[in-house]
Amino acid sequence: MTRCVGRFYHVRNMFKNVFASGFLVRTAHVILTWVVTLILFLHDTELRKQEEKGQLFQPILFVLLVLVSVLLYFAVSLMDPGFILSDDGHSEQFTLGVTEEQQDMIPPTTKSLRQRRCGHCLLQQPMRSKHCQTCRHCVRRYDHHCPWIENCVGERNHRWFVLYLAMQLLVLLWGLHISWTGFGYAPTWQLWMRGNGALLAVTALLALLSLVVLLLLGSHLYLVSLNTTTWEFMSRHRISYLKHCGADENPFDRGTFYNLWGFFCVWGTVVWEQVYFREGNDPV
């Protein structure tokens, strides 16, 4: 019954997200993507030359990659990032996963971690979750709220967000190369701008977006390799379960390989309290 209710809320939130304030952002993203793609085909770029010669492999592949990037964008944008919609007996899971000796080791300042309730939605917050003021929900393993996708990035969609960034970067870099091949010669600057102005604007836009996405992808892969989130990285001095740790100590770090493996290959909800209080780890 609980699972059915959860699915109902998930579907309802998905349709709500489609027509929420993010509708304009998503529409602008899609329109801009296909307008840029159309300009790359209309100018005398290598894609158009190959199309005119009947060599359709690269043009079709490029369009397919653009389509995949748009589909990934909508998937990440509309996906439930890990909203906490009800109390789910998390404290019982935590108690079963932690020994009495480990519970005795928890200082008074952190004993309330497992009993914490959100001051906004009044639901019990598992460790690493945070309330998003924009989405008005607590999110498991909260990373950040992204205005680009008008959704939170959390436990359920973070890996898809990273995959989307990787695909987007591939498309942007290929599009940048294609646009560079389309500039033609003109005897005067005015004639050159008249013939290549739109392509120049597209090239500048692709270069700027490529740099932004490259920085985003690099930062997220770095944080994932440490098993930390953007919120934890930026605000660890204010987070109750991290401010007791040393500057270089991360209680969730299991080594680069296992961090990456767990992020990309392990599905399902993780009880982070069990990782935090695992044997040999001192949370103070």
Please give the full DSSP string across 129-173, using - where no structure is assigned.
-EEETTTTEEETT--EEETTTTEEE-TTTHHHHHHHHHHHHHHHH
**Is the confidence at residue 12, as pLDDT, over 90?**
no
CB 154 within 8 A of CB 144: no
- Considering only residues 8 and 168, tell me which one the structure prediction assigns the higher pLDDT: 168
Give residue 13's pLDDT band: very low, low, confident or very high (50, 70, 90): low
What pLDDT does 4 receive? 57
Radius of gyration of the chain (CA): 23
> Residue 128 gets which letter from DSSP?
T
For residue 221, the surrounding DSSP H or E stretch is helix 189-226
Q: Write down the pLDDT at residue 92.
A: 43
Residues labelled catalytic: 146
* Residue 242: alpha-carbon gap to chain centroid: 22
User: Is residue 165 scored above 70 in pLDDT?
Assistant: yes
The pTM is what?
A: 0.82
Mean pLDDT of the chain: 83
Q: Is the pLDDT of residue 214 over 70?
A: yes
Residue 278 has pLDDT above 90, yes or no: no
Average pLDDT (164-185) is 94
pLDDT range class, residue 1, cuts 50, 70, 90: low
- Mean pLDDT to the nearest integer, 123-151: 93
* pLDDT tens profile 53-74: 889 999 999 999 999 999 999 9
Q: Looking at residue 43, what DSSP letter applies?
A: S
pLDDT-derived band at 10 (thresholds 50, 70, 90) equals low
Rounded-to-integer distance, Cα 151 and Cα 216, Å: 16
The two three-digit tokens of residue 3, written as one number: 């699972």
Tokens 């987070």 sit on residue: 239
